């Protein structure tokens, strides 16, 4: 399959478990990529298929920073404008509400929500007609999550933002959808899985945690023409955890 030949996709959090799995999948299907992550070392450690080249541009730095966002936009424009955008960067920190500081609250919303709004806004002028946006929500945004009020709030808000994008950009053929992963085996969830993994798996209808590639395949579908009449939806990729 080559659903992304001559298409440019921007991925933030590209060195993370889900981001890198998505980048590998899209590159195998012909996509040009703008890959962002906080650390240049993390980007340099990506598989050889994702090394910086004429068709794969690396942008390192704090994704909440205006200058870093501007470099992402410039890179995307140099590759022909944006046909797909997957803001996968995020943080997942544990803190019970009674111990949650305002600084921790703002840090999580800044990365998980504010940066998505800011970069989306900056990409609008280089967003090609019929492009697709896939944001990252979470089962926590649907159900709440003990010890993760800041994370759950950011992910619930992402869905409302995404549906508004679908409403406002639909006249250009641009689609916007969200995916809601459950517990996926990545570095970001290692600590929480080590504490609660067995309990969470037992509460999931499929009885296990997910893998990054399972999320990547769903995101690729929503970015591709295969989902050409789907917009404004949240796709749950959590083994049925949202029902438990």
Is residue 196's pLDDT more than 60? no
Write the CB contacts of 87 (distance below 8 Å, at least 6 apart in sequence): 11, 12, 13, 115, 116, 119, 120, 135, 136
Neighbours of 203 (CB within 10 A): 16
Of residues 85, 151, 200, 242, which has the active-site annotation?
151
Q: Model confidence over 146-159: pLDDT tens digits?
A: 899 999 999 999 99
Query: What pLDDT score was predicted for residue 177?
Result: 98
Mean pLDDT of 125-145: 95
Neighbours of 158 (CB within 10 A): 24
Phi, psi of 135 (to 5 degrees): -95, 170
Q: What is the CATH number of domain 8-243?
A: 3.40.50.720
92 assigned to active site? no
Asked whether 53 and 78 are in contact (CB, 8 A), the reply is no
Q: Is 7 left (phi over 0), alpha (psi -120 to 50) or beta?
A: beta
Q: Model confidence over 84-121: pLDDT tens digits?
A: 999 999 999 999 999 999 999 999 999 999 999 999 99
């Amino acid at each position: 399959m080559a659903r992304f030949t001559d298409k440019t996709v921007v991925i933030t959090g590209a060195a993370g478990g889900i981001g890198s799995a998505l980048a590998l999948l899209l590159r195998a299907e012909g996509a040009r990529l703008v890959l962002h992550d906080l650390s240049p070392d993390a980007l340099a450690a990506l598989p050889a298929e994702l090394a910086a080249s004429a068709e794969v541009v690396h942008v390192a730095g704090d994704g909440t920073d205006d200058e870093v966002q501007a470099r992402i936009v410039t890179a995307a424009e140099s590759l022909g404008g944006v046909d797909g955008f997957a803001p996968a960067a995020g943080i997942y920190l544990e803190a019970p509400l009674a111990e949650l500081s305002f600084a921790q609250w703002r840090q999580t919303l800044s990365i998980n929500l504010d940066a998505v709004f800011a970069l989306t806004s900056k990409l609008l002028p280089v967003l090609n007609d019929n492009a697709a946006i896939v944001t990252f929500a979470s089962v926590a945004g649907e159900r709440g999550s003990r010890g993760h009020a800041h994370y759950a709030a950011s992910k619930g808000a992402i869905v409302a933002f995404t549906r508004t994008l679908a409403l406002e950009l639909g006249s250009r053929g641009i689609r916007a959808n969200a995916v809601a992963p459950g517990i996926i085996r990545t570095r970001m969830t290692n600590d929480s899985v080590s504490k609660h993994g067995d309990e969470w798996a037992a509460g999931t209808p499929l009885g296990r945690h997910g893998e990054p590639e399972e999320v990547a395949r769903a995101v690729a579908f929503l970015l591709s023409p295969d989902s050409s009449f789907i917009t404004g939806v949240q796709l749950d990729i959590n083994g049925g955890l949202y029902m438990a």
